[in-house]
Amino acid sequence: MPITHLLYLHGFRSSPQSAKARQVAAWMQRRHPGVTWWCPQLPPSPKEAMQMVTDGIASWPRADMAVMGSSLGGFYATHVAETCGCQAVLLNPAVNPARDLATYIGEQTSWHDPTERFFFEPRFVDELQALTHGPVAQPENYFALIAKGDEVLDWREMTGRYPGAQIRLLEGGDHAISDFPGHLPEVMGFLGLP
């Protein structure tokens, strides 16, 4: 079945203005204008973020939807895919954000607008823990693009989290996957959206 709905989830301190989100949006607009595309600005609270997503995709057909997520958005995308049984594309996905973000408690600024501030509360760590799943139920539903050169997340941990999934391991690269446009054809091809 062709994908009729695509959800994109950005990372921590990121936004729908991220380079990758905009590149996927442009791809969809140019090649698949009939597909429902949604890339919401996620609130800092993981619980609120996932409630917003759950409400937003409530009417989406599970068999014909897919989710894509970058970094913390990859962790969220895993939650969505496990809950909905849909396909997922993960871009340098966060594997243990409850552990990794515990050191970020306090005031944070947005990457794309440093004047935009938010407070990362201690309870958000517990909310992340509550969204953590065990081994993925259907590894064949997953495609992960992982850069060995990621300066934020450990590529071994990322690949180890998704055994049996289709993984494209990049030699070098960075957390932002700066050469993402070159990988778009393979990423979108996995979703049947060439």
Task: List strands edge to edge, sheet with 65-70.
Answer: 36-38, 5-9, 65-70, 87-91, 142-147, 166-170
Q: Which helix (H) or strand (E) holds 84?
A: helix 72-84
Q: What CATH number did the domain enclosing 107 receive?
A: 3.40.50.1820
pTM of the model: 0.94
Range(s) of the domain holding residue 179: 5-190
Q: Spell out the per-residue pLDDT of the chain, length 194, in tens.
A: 689 999 999 999 899 999 999 999 999 999 999 999 999 999 999 999 999 999 999 999 999 999 999 999 999 999 999 999 999 999 999 999 999 998 888 887 777 677 778 778 889 999 999 999 999 999 999 999 999 999 999 999 999 999 999 999 999 999 999 999 999 999 999 999 99
Q: In angstroms, what is the C-alpha Rg of the chain?
A: 15
Q: Please count the structural domains in the chain.
A: 1
Task: Report the run of H or E that residue 171 belongs to, with start and end.
Answer: none
Please give the structure tokens belonging to residue 81. Answer: 């895919």
| Dist CA 17 CA 22 (whole Å) | 6
